[in-house]
């Protein structure tokens, strides 16, 4: 029996209808622009091979990944030319593979431009840094004659503070518009999830939502537009009856004040459920809250079963993981909450 067919004690339930809804909402909010989808980091932990077909069926035709291996994982699911590699050609072999497969390289430097041209070039994207000071060509490099040899589909930049009302957004918009006037291109893209909410001036021809596709709400303007997409589920491995005075978990940070029944759940910090959830998190069964007790371990978390006394070993509970609420409780960003979800979850 193959390993993937064996039963798992953790699973990540994907609400495909919510994922399709979120893309459609972000596409609508993008106005005249078309929404793409950032599916890097295994679709933000959701599972790229599960998410990409849903997004494609919903109407998405542009997908953004980071590494060549991520593109290879989904290249059979979409049309040639649909995938863009954000980190660009790090070596000649990357460039050659992308050219053969019809994957667009995003050129981030003059060296990458040279590397792309040396293997024969072809349609590509270009990233221009307008103030975040990460990957991308500097504004001062845009007049370099080498760039005139590129056949540019999408001219990108990336916003540093799109979820905030700060002057940086207008400054980056102005620089992006200047870059558009300097480099010939077919399409232009600036806005991420929160950037879509900034307005039509930031949309260009193509937006690049990421976290909001998967249930993240990075700014107030998207409240009510985005639905929860993933629900981590964990199995109860053992029931225990505690007496008053019994301690739970490492360092005895929880001590029972009364007799109580608890469940040991197959979930821990090795799965991305970090120790910051200790004494703060909760599980859900039929709408009832089951608080986390004591310190989260590597593979186990203990929960209070007072609200659901009928639960038994082998039953499943949902991890309370609505991203905005979970972020407020845990102190983790919504991006971290998604991408931390480990490989032991069946998807």
pLDDT given for residue 5 in this prediction = 57
What domains are there in the chain, each with its CATH number?
Answer: 15-213 (3.20.20.10), 230-339 (2.40.37.10)
pLDDT given for residue 46 in this prediction = 96
pLDDT given for residue 2 in this prediction = 55
Per the CB < 8 A criterion, the answer to whether 65 and 71 are in contact is: yes
pLDDT given for residue 269 in this prediction = 98
pLDDT given for residue 4 in this prediction = 56
Residues tagged active-site: 40, 250
pLDDT given for residue 8 in this prediction = 79
pLDDT given for residue 76 in this prediction = 97
Q: Left, alpha or beta for 215 (phi > 0: left; psi -120 to 50: alpha)? A: left
Cα separation, 154 vs 254, in Å, equals 54
C-alpha closest to that of 104 among 51, 40, 153: 153
pLDDT given for residue 38 in this prediction = 98
Cα separation, 313 vs 245, in Å, equals 24
How many other β-carbons are positioned within 10 Å of the β-carbon of residue 200? 12
C-alpha closest to that of 284 among 248, 255, 326, 252: 326
**Residue 1 CB partners (closer than 8 Å, separation 6+):** none
Task: Please give, one letter per residue, the 3-state secondary structure of 248-292.
Answer: ECHHHCEECCCCEEEEEECCCHHHCCCHHHCCCCEEEECCEEEEE
Average pLDDT by stretches of 10, the chain with 347 residues: 66 97 98 98 97 98 97 97 96 92 97 95 97 97 97 98 97 98 98 98 98 98 98 98 97 97 98 98 98 98 98 97 98 98 92
pLDDT given for residue 37 in this prediction = 98
């Amino acid at each position: 029996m193959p390993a993937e067919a064996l039963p798992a004690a953790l699973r990540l339930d994907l609400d495909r209808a919510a994922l399709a809804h979120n893309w459609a909402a972000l596409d609508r909010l993008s106005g005249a622009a078309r929404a793409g989808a950032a599916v890097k980091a295994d679709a933000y932990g959701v599972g790229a091979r599960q998410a990409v077909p849903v997004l494609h069926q919903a109407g998405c035709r542009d997908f953004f990944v980071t590494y060549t291996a991520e593109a290879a994982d989904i290249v059979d699911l979409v049309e040639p030319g649909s995938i863009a590699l954000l980190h660009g050609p790090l070596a000649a072999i990357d460039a050659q593979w992308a050219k053969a497969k019809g994957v667009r390289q995003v050129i981030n430097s003059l060296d990458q431009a040279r590397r792309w041209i040396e293997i024969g070039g072809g349609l590509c994207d270009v990233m221009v840094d307008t103030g975040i000071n990460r990957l991308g060509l500097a504004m001062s490099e845009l007049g370099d004659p080498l760039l005139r040899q590129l056949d540019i589909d999408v001219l990108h930049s990336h916003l540093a503070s799109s979820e905030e009302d700060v002057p940086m957004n207008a400054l980056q918009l102005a620089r992006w518009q200047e870059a558009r006037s300097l480099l010939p291109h077919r399409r232009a893209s600036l806005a991420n999830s929160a950037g879509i909410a900034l307005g039509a001036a930031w949309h260009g021809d193509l937006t690049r939502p990421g976290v909001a596709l998967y249930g993240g709400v990075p700014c107030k303007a998207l409240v009510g537009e985005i639905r929860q997409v993933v629900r981590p589920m964990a199995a109860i491995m053992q029931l225990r009856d505690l007496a008053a005075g019994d301690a739970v978990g490492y360092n005895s940070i929880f001590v029972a004040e009364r007799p109580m029944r608890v469940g040991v759940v197959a979930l821990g910090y090795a799965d991305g459920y970090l120790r910051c959830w200790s004494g703060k998190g909760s599980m859900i069964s039929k709408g009832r809250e089951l608080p986390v007790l004591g310190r989260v371990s590597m593979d186990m978390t203990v929960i209070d079963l007072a609200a659901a006394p009928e639960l038994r070993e082998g039953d499943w509970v949902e991890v309370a993981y609505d991203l905005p609420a979970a972020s407020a409780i845990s102190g983790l960003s919504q991006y971290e909450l998604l991408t931390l979800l480990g490989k032991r979850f069946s998807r």
